[in-house]
Amino acid sequence: MAISRQHSSKRTVKPTPPTEQPITFHADEEETLYANNNEKGAVSFLGDPLYKESKNWATRGRITAFAVCGLLAACVASAIIHPYTLPKTLSDAEFAAKARAANGETGFNKAAGEEIAVNYVKAYLSLKTDETAEKQLAFYLTGDSLSSASDNNGASNIRSSTANSAQQVIGTPQVTRVAVHKNSALATYRVVALVKPSATGTGTTVKDAAKNNNQNAELKQISMSVTVAYNEKTSKYYVATPHPAIVPSLSMGKSQELVKSKTIPGERVQPSADLDSVIQGYFKAYVAATPEKPGDLSQYVVDIKKSSVATIGFGGQYTVNTNSITYEAYRQSNGDIIAKVNLELVDELGGSTDTETKESAKQSITYPVTYKVTLSQQPNKKFLVSNMEPDIYDTDSSDIVRTVSTGE
């Protein structure tokens, strides 16, 4: 008997040992189940997702509503408060005052301060030669009017002098410097005066002082520092230095020590009869011409209707000696010629010639002057004056004083 062996198709499967899962399940106090991913730290609710989502949206809605209401309340409050927080509108005067303050201005008229400083120095230095000096000093120191100011009202003892001394101020003192203060209500002026001090001999009156001046007295230059103050509230000025300090006067050098002025650029042109005729004729007509009555000047200038130094003229105040005219001429790239012209202007003071001796009694003052004249050639080849201006000193040298040798 044959025995058949049957093979089973089943295989023995070894069970997989349990492993620790990354997810754990929990329930909160409201018995809502949720799963926690321990590896990622994520939480998933296992309850009704629609309920949870609607609950979240309701919370968000309430928060948004509160935020919108708060914003609207803030806008309303701002609209109510805003008019009360606006700055006060300034008047024109207040605005101008603030602008002056921002620029450091106090209303101090510097020209007025200069006038005060000049007049004060003139009165201060005048001794027995100006009848109004003491009253002027009292006016500037006390504010009293000139008509009521007393000679002894704080002015007579401002400076002292001996009985037979006098001092005259020649001309009007000049301001040579204005010092800027940090306080814009103050300004200090350096005033220069030319004075003639002298002993008056036996004459002690104001009139005698000027007449009896020592003929050998020398002129003296005095520089004084005067500070003037200004009160904007009262618009009053004050001499802040009743005893102005005497400071060193300006130091002057010799004009001959300067290096030579720059020459006119261009090609040097030799004097000619044509140039002589135009230059001499122009200046002879110029000294007699006026803007209203140019006379012969019109035939020597390019445009007589153009108001300029070249066409105004001296109106007969001076004469010119045409024989004294000399010039140097230089041709420019555009064809013009610029001439440096030296001449003499004469101020005739009057007088006559003696018929017997034939000697001239005419008196005059002569002024040597130099001008730069531009001559432009016209289509007819004739030169006419297109510009005239005073000759000025100019140099490109940083050291304007030339080195003088010991043997010079």
Residue 122 CA from chain centroid, whole number: 28
Instruction: Check residue 208 and give its pLDDT.
Output: 55
Smallest Cα–Cα separation from 139: which of 286, 2, 245, 238? 238
Instruction: Check residue 325 and give its pLDDT.
Output: 95
Instruction: Check residue 200 and give its pLDDT.
Output: 67
For the ranges 156-170, 198-212, 279-293, 310-324, which has the lowest average pLDDT?
Answer: 198-212
Give dist(CA 245, CA 249) in Å, integer: 12
Mean pLDDT across the stretch 167-181?
93
Give dist(CA 170, CA 234) in Å, integer: 35
71 three-class SS? helix
Q: How confident is the model at residue 394 (pLDDT cuts 50, 70, 90)?
A: very high
Give dist(CA 21, CA 41) in Å, integer: 14
Does position 333 have pLDDT exceeding 70, yes or no? yes
For the ranges 3-7, 298-302, 343-347, 351-355, which has the lowest average pLDDT?
Answer: 3-7
Condensed to tens digits (0 to 9), the pLDDT of residues 51-91 reads 444 455 556 667 777 777 878 887 777 777 766 666 666 66
* Structural domains of the chain sorted by starting position, each given as residue range(s) with its CATH number in brackets: 26-71 (no CATH), 110-252 (3.10.450.540), 267-390 (3.10.450.540)
Condensed to tens digits (0 to 9), the pLDDT of residues 237-280 reads 999 999 999 999 888 899 999 999 999 999 999 999 999 999 99
114 three-class SS? helix
Instruction: Check residue 52 and give its pLDDT.
Output: 47
Instruction: Check residue 50 and give its pLDDT.
Output: 43
Between these two residues, 361 and 160, which has the higher pLDDT value? 160
How does 126-158 read in b/e, with b if 16+ C-beta sit within 10 Å? bbbbbeebbbbbbbbbeebeeeebeeebebeee
Highest mean pLDDT among 32-46, 55-69, 389-403: 389-403
Does position 135 have pLDDT exceeding 80, yes or no? yes
Mean pLDDT across the stretch 32-51?
54
Highest mean pLDDT among 47-51, 209-213, 289-293: 289-293
Instruction: List beta partners, residue 376.
Output: 384
Instruction: Check residue 160 and give its pLDDT.
Output: 84
Instruction: Check residue 372 and give its pLDDT.
Output: 96
Give dist(CA 318, CA 349) in Å, integer: 10
Which amino acid type is present at position 8?
S
Cα angle 250, 253, 258; round to 5: 135
**Is-contact 189 158, C-beta < 8 A?**
no
Which amino acid type is present at position 239?
V
